[in-house]
Amino acid sequence: MTYDSSMIGSTARGAHETGRPFMGRLRRGLLMASHAEAASGRRDGSAGGEGNGGGSGHDAGDGDRRSKQPRKGGTGRFLRDVVIIFLAALLISFLIKTFLIRSFFIPSGSMENTLQIHDRIIVNELVPKLMPLKRGDVIVFSDPGGWLGAEDQVSTSSGNPVVNGVQWFLTQVGLGTQDSDNHLIKRVIGLPGDKVACCNSFGQTTVNGVPLDEPYTKQPAIATDQIDDLHFSVTVPAGSLWVEGDNRGDSADSRLQQKTPSGGFVPLSDVVGRAVLITWPIKHWSWLDDYPAVFRGTDESTQ
Protein backbone atom coordinates (compact mmCIF):
# COMPACT_ATOMS: atom_id res chain seq x y z
CA MET A 1 0.00 0.00 0.00
CA THR A 2 1.41 3.35 -0.93
CA TYR A 3 0.99 6.52 0.97
CA ASP A 4 1.08 10.02 -0.27
CA SER A 5 3.86 11.68 1.69
CA SER A 6 2.45 15.03 1.06
CA MET A 7 -0.79 14.00 2.76
CA ILE A 8 1.01 12.72 5.76
CA GLY A 9 2.99 15.92 6.11
CA SER A 10 -0.12 18.01 5.71
CA THR A 11 -1.95 16.04 8.35
CA ALA A 12 0.94 16.44 10.89
CA ARG A 13 1.18 20.13 10.26
CA GLY A 14 -2.57 20.49 10.72
CA ALA A 15 -2.45 18.66 14.01
CA HIS A 16 0.47 20.75 15.23
CA GLU A 17 -1.19 23.96 14.20
CA THR A 18 -4.42 22.85 15.83
CA GLY A 19 -2.61 22.15 19.25
CA ARG A 20 -0.96 25.58 19.50
CA PRO A 21 -4.06 27.53 20.59
CA PHE A 22 -4.98 24.89 23.18
CA MET A 23 -1.59 24.87 24.88
CA GLY A 24 -1.52 28.65 24.98
CA ARG A 25 -4.88 28.79 26.63
CA LEU A 26 -3.77 26.12 29.13
CA ARG A 27 -0.66 28.07 30.09
CA ARG A 28 -2.62 31.28 30.48
CA GLY A 29 -5.19 29.51 32.63
CA LEU A 30 -2.52 28.05 34.95
CA LEU A 31 -0.80 31.44 35.24
CA MET A 32 -4.05 33.20 36.12
CA ALA A 33 -4.88 30.55 38.70
CA SER A 34 -1.45 31.01 40.27
CA HIS A 35 -1.87 34.81 40.46
CA ALA A 36 -5.34 34.45 41.93
CA GLU A 37 -4.06 32.11 44.65
CA ALA A 38 -1.26 34.54 45.56
CA ALA A 39 -3.68 37.45 45.72
CA SER A 40 -6.02 35.44 47.95
CA GLY A 41 -3.16 34.66 50.34
CA ARG A 42 -2.29 38.35 50.61
CA ARG A 43 -5.89 39.26 51.36
CA ASP A 44 -6.12 36.57 54.08
CA GLY A 45 -2.92 37.80 55.71
CA SER A 46 -4.08 41.38 55.69
CA ALA A 47 -7.44 40.46 57.11
CA GLY A 48 -5.79 38.36 59.81
CA GLY A 49 -3.47 41.21 60.77
CA GLU A 50 -6.34 43.65 60.99
CA GLY A 51 -8.31 41.16 63.07
CA ASN A 52 -5.46 40.67 65.50
CA GLY A 53 -4.84 44.39 65.81
CA GLY A 54 -8.48 45.08 66.40
CA GLY A 55 -8.65 42.30 69.01
CA SER A 56 -5.66 43.76 70.90
CA GLY A 57 -7.21 47.19 70.95
CA HIS A 58 -10.48 45.79 72.19
CA ASP A 59 -8.75 43.81 74.94
CA ALA A 60 -6.73 46.85 76.00
CA GLY A 61 -9.90 48.90 76.16
CA ASP A 62 -11.55 46.26 78.30
CA GLY A 63 -8.50 46.17 80.57
CA ASP A 64 -8.60 49.95 81.04
CA ARG A 65 -12.28 49.84 81.84
CA ARG A 66 -11.77 46.98 84.31
CA SER A 67 -8.92 48.81 86.02
CA LYS A 68 -11.15 51.85 86.49
CA GLN A 69 -13.98 49.82 87.96
CA PRO A 70 -13.91 49.15 91.78
CA ARG A 71 -12.95 45.62 92.67
CA LYS A 72 -15.81 43.47 93.77
CA GLY A 73 -15.59 42.39 97.42
CA GLY A 74 -13.16 45.19 98.40
CA THR A 75 -15.23 46.20 101.42
CA GLY A 76 -15.48 42.61 102.58
CA ARG A 77 -11.74 42.14 102.38
CA PHE A 78 -11.16 45.38 104.29
CA LEU A 79 -13.51 44.31 107.10
CA ARG A 80 -11.87 40.89 107.22
CA ASP A 81 -8.43 42.51 107.57
CA VAL A 82 -9.72 44.78 110.35
CA VAL A 83 -11.12 41.78 112.25
CA ILE A 84 -7.86 39.85 111.84
CA ILE A 85 -5.81 42.83 113.07
CA PHE A 86 -8.14 43.32 116.04
CA LEU A 87 -7.98 39.66 117.05
CA ALA A 88 -4.21 39.61 116.67
CA ALA A 89 -3.90 42.72 118.84
CA LEU A 90 -6.23 41.17 121.42
CA LEU A 91 -4.18 37.97 121.50
CA ILE A 92 -0.91 39.86 121.84
CA SER A 93 -2.37 42.01 124.63
CA PHE A 94 -3.63 38.92 126.44
CA LEU A 95 -0.20 37.30 126.21
CA ILE A 96 1.43 40.49 127.45
CA LYS A 97 -0.95 40.59 130.42
CA THR A 98 -0.38 36.92 131.19
CA PHE A 99 3.40 36.89 130.93
CA LEU A 100 4.80 40.44 130.92
CA ILE A 101 2.92 43.33 132.55
CA ARG A 102 -0.36 44.14 134.29
CA SER A 103 -2.05 47.21 135.63
CA PHE A 104 -3.31 47.61 139.21
CA PHE A 105 -4.80 50.40 141.27
CA ILE A 106 -4.02 51.30 144.86
CA PRO A 107 -7.12 51.03 147.12
CA SER A 108 -5.59 52.04 150.44
CA GLY A 109 -2.98 54.27 152.07
CA SER A 110 -0.73 51.46 153.32
CA MET A 111 2.07 52.46 150.90
CA GLU A 112 1.96 56.21 151.47
CA ASN A 113 3.79 58.33 150.67
CA THR A 114 5.29 56.20 147.93
CA LEU A 115 1.86 55.40 146.51
CA GLN A 116 -1.34 57.34 146.95
CA ILE A 117 -4.91 56.03 147.05
CA HIS A 118 -6.27 55.42 143.53
CA ASP A 119 -2.84 55.53 141.87
CA ARG A 120 -2.48 53.22 138.88
CA ILE A 121 0.69 51.17 138.58
CA ILE A 122 2.34 48.85 136.08
CA VAL A 123 3.62 45.51 137.38
CA ASN A 124 6.44 43.53 135.76
CA GLU A 125 5.31 39.89 135.79
CA LEU A 126 8.73 38.57 134.81
CA VAL A 127 9.62 39.02 138.50
CA PRO A 128 10.05 36.57 140.16
CA LYS A 129 9.33 34.03 137.41
CA LEU A 130 12.41 34.87 135.34
CA MET A 131 14.08 37.66 137.29
CA PRO A 132 14.99 37.49 140.99
CA LEU A 133 13.38 39.64 143.67
CA LYS A 134 15.52 42.00 145.71
CA ARG A 135 15.08 43.53 149.13
CA GLY A 136 13.37 46.88 148.67
CA ASP A 137 11.26 45.79 145.68
CA VAL A 138 7.61 46.88 145.77
CA ILE A 139 5.53 43.81 144.90
CA VAL A 140 1.90 42.93 144.20
CA PHE A 141 0.73 39.58 145.55
CA SER A 142 -2.48 37.64 146.07
CA ASP A 143 -3.90 37.39 149.58
CA PRO A 144 -1.98 34.50 151.22
CA GLY A 145 -5.08 33.78 153.31
CA GLY A 146 -6.77 35.90 155.96
CA TRP A 147 -4.88 39.12 155.26
CA LEU A 148 -7.90 40.84 153.69
CA GLY A 149 -11.06 40.98 155.77
CA ALA A 150 -14.52 41.65 154.37
CA GLU A 151 -14.08 45.35 155.06
CA ASP A 152 -10.83 45.36 153.07
CA GLN A 153 -12.36 43.89 149.92
CA VAL A 154 -12.68 46.83 147.54
CA SER A 155 -15.24 46.41 144.77
CA THR A 156 -14.20 47.67 141.35
CA SER A 157 -17.69 47.36 139.88
CA SER A 158 -19.27 50.61 138.72
CA GLY A 159 -22.84 49.31 138.69
CA ASN A 160 -23.10 50.19 135.00
CA PRO A 161 -23.09 47.03 132.84
CA VAL A 162 -21.56 48.85 129.86
CA VAL A 163 -18.77 50.35 131.95
CA ASN A 164 -18.24 47.00 133.66
CA GLY A 165 -17.97 45.33 130.27
CA VAL A 166 -15.34 47.80 129.12
CA GLN A 167 -13.45 47.38 132.40
CA TRP A 168 -13.59 43.61 132.04
CA PHE A 169 -12.20 43.80 128.50
CA LEU A 170 -9.39 46.15 129.51
CA THR A 171 -8.57 43.86 132.44
CA GLN A 172 -8.27 40.87 130.12
CA VAL A 173 -5.68 42.68 128.00
CA GLY A 174 -3.76 43.98 131.00
CA LEU A 175 -4.92 47.61 130.89
CA GLY A 176 -7.78 47.40 133.39
CA THR A 177 -7.77 46.96 137.15
CA GLN A 178 -10.97 44.99 137.73
CA ASP A 179 -9.11 42.11 139.41
CA SER A 180 -7.25 44.30 141.91
CA ASP A 181 -9.62 43.62 144.82
CA ASN A 182 -7.90 40.38 145.96
CA HIS A 183 -4.34 41.71 145.78
CA LEU A 184 -2.04 43.60 148.13
CA ILE A 185 1.02 45.73 147.56
CA LYS A 186 3.97 45.95 149.98
CA ARG A 187 7.74 46.36 150.03
CA VAL A 188 10.04 43.35 150.37
CA ILE A 189 12.08 43.55 153.56
CA GLY A 190 13.28 39.98 154.00
CA LEU A 191 14.20 37.30 151.45
CA PRO A 192 14.27 33.54 152.14
CA GLY A 193 16.75 32.81 154.92
CA ASP A 194 16.91 36.40 156.20
CA LYS A 195 16.54 37.16 159.90
CA VAL A 196 14.25 40.17 160.30
CA ALA A 197 13.77 41.82 163.69
CA CYS A 198 12.21 44.89 165.21
CA CYS A 199 13.18 46.98 166.80
CA ASN A 200 16.62 48.14 167.95
CA SER A 201 17.12 50.93 170.46
CA PHE A 202 16.54 53.50 167.73
CA GLY A 203 13.27 51.90 166.65
CA GLN A 204 14.79 50.54 163.43
CA THR A 205 14.05 47.25 161.71
CA THR A 206 17.13 45.08 161.22
CA VAL A 207 17.88 42.52 158.51
CA ASN A 208 20.60 40.02 159.37
CA GLY A 209 21.70 42.37 162.14
CA VAL A 210 21.99 45.42 159.86
CA PRO A 211 19.74 48.33 160.90
CA LEU A 212 17.74 49.85 158.06
CA ASP A 213 17.58 53.60 157.58
CA GLU A 214 14.38 53.76 155.52
CA PRO A 215 13.71 57.16 153.92
CA TYR A 216 10.54 55.94 152.20
CA THR A 217 8.56 55.19 155.38
CA LYS A 218 5.76 57.17 156.94
CA GLN A 219 5.59 56.70 160.70
CA PRO A 220 2.36 58.04 162.27
CA ALA A 221 1.16 57.04 165.73
CA ILE A 222 0.56 53.32 166.36
CA ALA A 223 -2.49 51.98 168.19
CA THR A 224 -1.66 50.71 171.68
CA ASP A 225 -3.01 47.20 171.03
CA GLN A 226 -0.61 46.81 168.10
CA ILE A 227 2.61 47.71 169.91
CA ASP A 228 3.38 44.14 171.01
CA ASP A 229 2.91 42.90 167.46
CA LEU A 230 5.55 45.32 166.22
CA HIS A 231 8.30 43.66 168.26
CA PHE A 232 9.36 40.47 166.54
CA SER A 233 12.30 38.40 165.42
CA VAL A 234 11.69 35.94 162.58
CA THR A 235 13.65 33.94 160.07
CA VAL A 236 12.07 33.93 156.62
CA PRO A 237 11.45 30.34 155.47
CA ALA A 238 12.44 29.05 152.05
CA GLY A 239 10.09 30.06 149.26
CA SER A 240 8.66 33.00 151.25
CA LEU A 241 9.06 36.75 151.82
CA TRP A 242 8.66 39.21 154.66
CA VAL A 243 6.89 42.38 153.51
CA GLU A 244 5.95 45.69 155.10
CA GLY A 245 4.03 48.75 153.94
CA ASP A 246 5.80 52.09 153.66
CA ASN A 247 3.06 53.63 155.84
CA ARG A 248 4.15 51.63 158.87
CA GLY A 249 1.43 53.01 161.11
CA ASP A 250 -1.39 52.07 158.73
CA SER A 251 -0.33 48.84 157.05
CA ALA A 252 -1.61 45.38 157.94
CA ASP A 253 1.54 43.71 156.64
CA SER A 254 3.70 40.76 157.75
CA ARG A 255 4.12 42.27 161.23
CA LEU A 256 0.38 42.10 161.92
CA GLN A 257 -0.33 38.83 160.08
CA GLN A 258 1.75 36.47 162.18
CA LYS A 259 -1.37 34.79 163.53
CA THR A 260 -2.78 34.02 160.06
CA PRO A 261 -2.24 30.64 158.36
CA SER A 262 0.78 32.02 156.48
CA GLY A 263 2.45 33.18 159.71
CA GLY A 264 2.93 36.63 158.19
CA PHE A 265 5.03 35.34 155.32
CA VAL A 266 4.15 35.71 151.63
CA PRO A 267 4.74 32.60 149.48
CA LEU A 268 6.71 33.38 146.33
CA SER A 269 4.00 31.53 144.40
CA ASP A 270 1.52 34.27 145.39
CA VAL A 271 3.65 37.08 143.96
CA VAL A 272 2.18 38.58 140.78
CA GLY A 273 5.17 40.77 140.00
CA ARG A 274 7.22 43.83 140.86
CA ALA A 275 5.63 47.29 140.65
CA VAL A 276 7.81 49.44 138.41
CA LEU A 277 5.86 52.52 137.36
CA ILE A 278 3.06 54.85 138.47
CA THR A 279 1.01 55.59 135.36
CA TRP A 280 -1.93 57.57 136.75
CA PRO A 281 -2.59 60.30 137.61
CA ILE A 282 -0.06 61.98 135.37
CA LYS A 283 1.20 64.25 138.14
CA HIS A 284 2.26 61.12 140.09
CA TRP A 285 4.07 59.56 137.14
CA SER A 286 7.39 58.10 138.33
CA TRP A 287 9.51 54.97 138.48
CA LEU A 288 9.40 53.04 141.75
CA ASP A 289 12.77 52.83 143.51
CA ASP A 290 14.01 49.74 145.33
CA TYR A 291 16.50 51.75 147.45
CA PRO A 292 19.49 49.40 147.18
CA ALA A 293 21.56 51.61 149.49
CA VAL A 294 19.14 50.94 152.37
CA PHE A 295 19.88 47.20 152.25
CA ARG A 296 23.59 47.44 151.52
CA GLY A 297 25.55 45.02 153.67
CA THR A 298 22.66 42.72 154.57
CA ASP A 299 24.02 39.93 152.39
CA GLU A 300 27.45 39.96 154.01
CA SER A 301 26.18 40.04 157.59
CA THR A 302 26.09 36.98 159.81
CA GLN A 303 22.63 35.45 159.71
Which residues carry out catalysis?
110, 186
Q: Distance of CA 106 to CAs 109, 140, 144, 178, 217, Å?
A: 8, 10, 18, 12, 17
Helix (H) or strand (E) holding 138, with range, is strand 138-142
d(CA 117, CA 21): 130
Pairing of strands 195-198, 232-235: antiparallel
> What is residue 97's three-state secondary structure?
helix
Q: Distance of CA 238 to CAs 18, 144, 193, 301, 303, Å?
A: 137, 15, 6, 18, 14
Angle at 149 (CA atoms; ends 110, 183), nearest 5 degrees = 55
Q: How would DSSP label each residue in 179-203?
A: TGGGEEEEEEEE-TT-EEEE--TTS
> Is 7 within 8 Å of 15 (Cβ atoms)?
no
Chain centroid to Cα 54, Å, comes to: 56
Q: Distance of CA 182 to CAs 103, 144, 247, Å?
A: 14, 10, 20
